[in-house]
Amino acid sequence: MEINGNFIHDIIDKDLAEGVYDHVHTRFPPEPNGYLHIGSAKAITISYEAAKKYGGLFNLRFDDTNPVKEDDEYVQSIIEDLEWLGAEPSGGIFYGSDYFDQCYEFAVKLIKDGNAYVCDLTAEQMREYRGTLTEPGKESPYRNRSTAENLDLFERMKNGEFPDGSKTLRAKIDMASPNINMRDPAIYRILHAHHHRQGDKWCIYPLYDFAHPIQDAIEGITHSLCTLEFENHRPLYDWVVDHIGIGHKPSQHEFARLNLTYTVTSKRYLRELVETKIVDGWDDPRMPTLCGLRRRGYTPGSIKDFVRRAGVAKAYSIVDLELLEHCIREELNTTAPRRIAIMDPIRVVIDNYPADQREYFTVSNNPQDESAGTREVPFTRELYIDSSDFSDNPPAKFFRLKPEGEVRLMGAYIVKCGEIEYDADGKVKLIHCTADLETGNGSPADGRKIKGTIHWLSCEHAGDIRVMHYDRLFTIPNLNDIPEDKEYGDFLNPESVLQLNGKAEPALADAKDGDRFQFVRTGYYVKDTKYENTFNRIVTLKDSYKPQA
């Protein structure tokens, strides 16, 4: 698929034309404190495709500078998600923690150059000294410590002599800066915590705004692409690169993050959903995580197509979830084999069909793809039809099976409804029909028109399946704009999942985990990778999304 241009590509074109860089090198820097989500797919796609378009390199770098929340489980899941998306880290896989020694040495350089100092203010005091958007900050009483004292204190911080939170290393910039991020930001904090890669070597850790530009510079990144919340951090990014004196200067550029209707992408809240067992793990098919979307049945191609159609821009916007559904529906319409499954079966007896007779009707595997071939579906005297295809008190223009009415059994005979049997609760138990055995899968000899066609299964050959119908996890479209007195949990959809016990044609018995199908007249489904004999609905057949011209 051709890579569409966007404003980031315009920036790269200009940089290459003016000789700012002679190549392109991008990166994706996730923090391994949770699973990637649909918003991550946008960030990955933007950086990966920028590198690919210009014949450059793309790095995966784990931002593992906060040991309290990080775990190797998340590292492995992120690697798996990138492989699934096809975003090969051609420049390599790196870890921010591998640069801790260099970060420390650069911090020492800042102290020696008079550009950093050790501060004893508490976090609360730092907030008080920082000032506001309209008022300048106030200098720390520790700002003018001597170089020798700062070096001594910083080394003792590294050696573990001080408790957590008692001191920080701060960049010495400008407490009157209109950009609050430049008002002597903390660049190191004390944290006695075990690191998933570094073990107990460190009890001080660099903050993201300090570590990230150093990592980019060391790896030779040219274009550091990130979401808009980092736009006000860009001056600090540039300040760090300029003052460490590494020689290579990457440039940071921001784009609007992906906001999707009916969707929350906060890792903290997604983790809460998992830990409180509101969902069936990070890969629950209702989750916006990539592993959840994968288990739901979405394909890498549909997600990348969605990201491209959603666009890359600077302005905030919220994208309709129906666009994502449209992308997978459009793909599966041409690729998914057709199979017959019945969600709520009713038994039908064809009274004039021999009880010992078996025959097979040929049906297409995919009308959109002749090369998909055909299969044989068995037909017998006793059949299943779906309860939605029958009514004993039909509304106007009901063209499915009804008393004295005729329908076409898809690909087979025309049948007429006769006697109806009910159970003790008044529910339909059995429908008797007669078949026009001259029709086969052809037209009636007398030329009468049959308006309804329904799907069916041979009772003798049908297998049991569990079907999971997933709906939106939340009830309101814009979860970025909820009232202050409300929480995400107030808008959880109590009907976001429905389990059905259905019947399926024999061909589905050979389905492998992850195989996708269109269940005729019902929707698109995928064989679940977690539970046996279970099929998850990916998306319905109905597409209400209208692509823009």
Domain-located, residue 2: no
The DSSP letter of residue 222 is S
Please, which pLDDT band fits residue 280 given cuts at 50, 70 and 90? Answer: very high
State whether 245 and 268 are in the same domain. Answer: no
On the question of pLDDT at 176 being above 70, the answer is: yes
Q: Catalytic site residue 381?
A: no
Is residue 322 in a domain?
yes
| Count of Cβ atoms closer than 10 Å to residue 456 Cβ | 26
CA–CA dist 468, 528 (Å, integer): 9
Give the C-alpha distances (Å, rounded to integers) separating 233 from 42, 114, 130, 179, 379: 21, 22, 15, 9, 68
Catalytic residue (one of 130, 143, 257, 347):
257
Amino acid at 172: K
pLDDT at 316: 86
Residues 162 and 188 both lie in one domain:
yes
What's the domain range around 376?
341-455
User: In this structure, how many other beta carbons lie within 10 angstroms of the beta carbon of residue 434?
Assistant: 17
Helix ranges, 131-199 (H): 147-158
Structural domains of the chain, count: 3
Does some domain include residue 460? no
Is the pLDDT confidence value at 17 over 60? yes
CA distance 419 to 417: 7
Give yes or no: residues 45 and 59 share one domain.
Answer: yes
Check whether residue 67 and residue 199 sit in a common domain.
yes
Q: In this structure, are residues 259 and 320 in contact, taking their beta carbons and an 8 Å threshold?
A: no
Give the CA angle between residues 527, 85, 478 to the nearest 5°.
80
Q: Report d(CA 288, CA 283) in Å as an integer.
A: 9
429 and 314 part of one domain = no
Catalytic position from the list 31, 80, 272, 331 = 31
Shared domain check, 88 and 33: yes
Catalytic residue among 42, 145, 267, 308: 267
pLDDT of residue 444: 84
pLDDT digit string (tens) for 122-138? 999 999 999 999 999 99
Candidates 182, 187, 250, 245; CA nearest to 213 is 250
User: What pLDDT shows up at residue 549?
Assistant: 45
546 catalytic, yes or no? Answer: no
Of the three residues 226, 257, 288, the one that is the final residue of a domain is: 257
| Residue that is last in its domain, among 413, 432, 455 | 455
- In a shared domain, residues 134 and 153: yes
Residue 397 Rama label (left phi>0; alpha psi -120 to 50; beta): left
Annotation marks residue 257 as catalytic: yes
Asked if residue 227 and residue 201 are part of one domain, the reply reads: yes
Answer for the pair 454, 407: CB distance below 8 angstroms, yes or no: yes
313-348 pLDDT per residue, tens: 998 889 999 999 999 999 999 999 999 999 999 999
Question: What is d(CA 213, CA 206) in angstroms, rounded to the nearest whole number?
Answer: 11
Beta bridge partners of 345: 386
Does residue 165 belong to any structural domain of this protein? yes
pLDDT of residue 543: 75
Residue 448 pLDDT grade (very low, low, confident, very high; cuts 50, 70, 90) = confident
- The DSSP string of 75-121 is HHHHHHHHHHHT---TTEEEEGGGGHHHHHHHHHHHHHTTSEEEE--
In the numeric block, which tokens belong to residue 303?
């997600």
Indicate whether this model's pTM tops 0.85: yes
Which of 224, 257, 290 is the C-terminal boundary of a domain? 257
Per-residue pLDDT, 4: 75
Average pLDDT over residues 10-19: 97
How distant, in Å, are the alpha carbons of 82, 137, 207, 264, 476 from that of 491?
A: 31, 40, 34, 11, 7
Q: Are 382 and 460 spatial neighbours (Cβ–Cβ below 8 Å)?
A: yes
In whole angstroms, give the CA distance from residue 96 to residue 29: 9
- For a pLDDT cut of 70, what percent of the chain falls above it? 98
The answer to the question of residue 545 being in a domain is no
Co-location of 177 and 44 in the same domain:
yes
